[in-house]
Amino acid sequence: MVGEGITQALSWLLAGDGEVAAVAAMTIQVSGVATLCSVLLGIPLGVWLALRDFRGKQLCSALVNFGMGLPPVVVGLFVSLCLWRYGPLGEWELMYTPVAMMIAQTIIATPIVGGLSFAAVLSVNPKLRLQLLSLGATPWQASRLLIREARLGLLAAVMAGFGRVISEVGASMMVGGNIKGQTRVLTTATVMEVGKGNYDTAIAFSLILLLGAFGVVFMLTWLQHKRKSERK
């Protein structure tokens, strides 16, 4: 069974199967946009929490940490209620579209990126910011240099966010509907094939998903090690 799945995956890749290519392209599109949005929201949130002192900071940090373990089905239900025909955003008609999947995945990944960014900035020596300020740096300049020092940890946050969205299936099924040619991605296609008993096809989809995820993570890891070598 596993051998048949590997053979089928290789045949799809070599033959350039149109349906599989469409599913893979939708996966890249949805996960890529969701990762980008979560990075644009999560990193500034994490950096802001790490560098600012204010009343309620502990509560905000606890909420971010809580969001890191938020069940995807709960997010899917919340987004569904908002985007449903009679929901507050129903007039936008986004239910069962790639945009709905992007929204759900962004909500899932943003706390992960934010929490890890928060930890990455906190891991930098706190005396460094005070030294920079004492040497005449503005708060903005000091913050920018601290972020630069924490860039390896921030890249790890990006990888974690991508890994979360590329593997997401529950919320994607709920808000996307796994519609062929519209919202079907590799994870939902794998679940569907398992439900139909086509384990060889499910294995083939899984292998393609693993190859794509490994390619992206390998590139980000290469950038991380490149940055590390530049610091030496």
CATH of residue 111's domain is 1.10.3720.10
Where are the strands (E) in the chain, listed by range? none
Domain extent for 35? 25-186
Whether residue 193 lies inside any domain: the answer is no
- State yes or no: pLDDT of 1 exceeds 60: no
Whether residue 161 lies inside any domain: the answer is yes
Per-residue pLDDT of 108-147, as tens digits, reads 999 999 999 999 999 887 778 778 878 788 878 888 888 8
- State yes or no: pLDDT of 230 exceeds 70: no
Whether residue 5 lies inside any domain: the answer is no
Burial (CB count within 10 angstroms: exposed 0-12, middle 13-18, buried 19+), residue 119: middle
Is 124 in a helix, a strand, or coil? coil
Instruction: Please report the pLDDT score of residue 51 as a whole number.
Output: 86
Average pLDDT, stretch 86-101? 93
Whether residue 88 lies inside any domain: the answer is yes
pLDDT higher at 18 or 122: 122
Q: Kindly state the percentage of the chain with pLDDT values over 70.
A: 91
What distance in Å separates the CA atoms of residue 13 and residue 75, rounded to the nearest whole number?
A: 33
pTM score above 0.85: yes
pLDDT confidence of 223, banded at 50, 70, 90?
confident
What distance in Å separates the CA atoms of residue 128 and residue 23, rounded to the nearest whole number?
A: 48
Instruction: Please report the pLDDT score of residue 73 as a whole number.
Output: 93
Instruction: Please report the pLDDT score of residue 175 as a whole number.
Output: 96
Instruction: Please report the pLDDT score of residue 174 as a whole number.
Output: 94
User: Terminus-to-terminus CA distance in the chain, angstroms?
Assistant: 48
Letter string b/e over residues 85-113, b meaning 16 or more CB atoms within 10 A of that residue's CB? eeeeeeeeebbbbbbbbbbbbbbbbbbbb
DSSP state of 112: H
Selection from 26-30, 48-52, 89-93, 149-153 with the highest mean pLDDT: 26-30
Whether residue 151 lies inside any domain: the answer is yes
CA distances from 40 to 44, 106, 117 (A): 7, 10, 12
Average pLDDT, stretch 50-75? 92
What distance in Å separates the CA atoms of residue 162 and residue 69, rounded to the nearest whole number?
A: 15
At residue 97, what are phi and psi to the nearest 5 degrees?
Answer: -130, 160
Average per-residue pLDDT for the chain: 88
Whether residue 201 lies inside any domain: the answer is no
Whether residue 108 lies inside any domain: the answer is yes
- State yes or no: pLDDT of 64 exceeds 60: yes
pLDDT confidence of 13, banded at 50, 70, 90?
low
pLDDT confidence of 167, banded at 50, 70, 90?
very high
Whether residue 221 lies inside any domain: the answer is no
How many domains does the chain fold into? 1
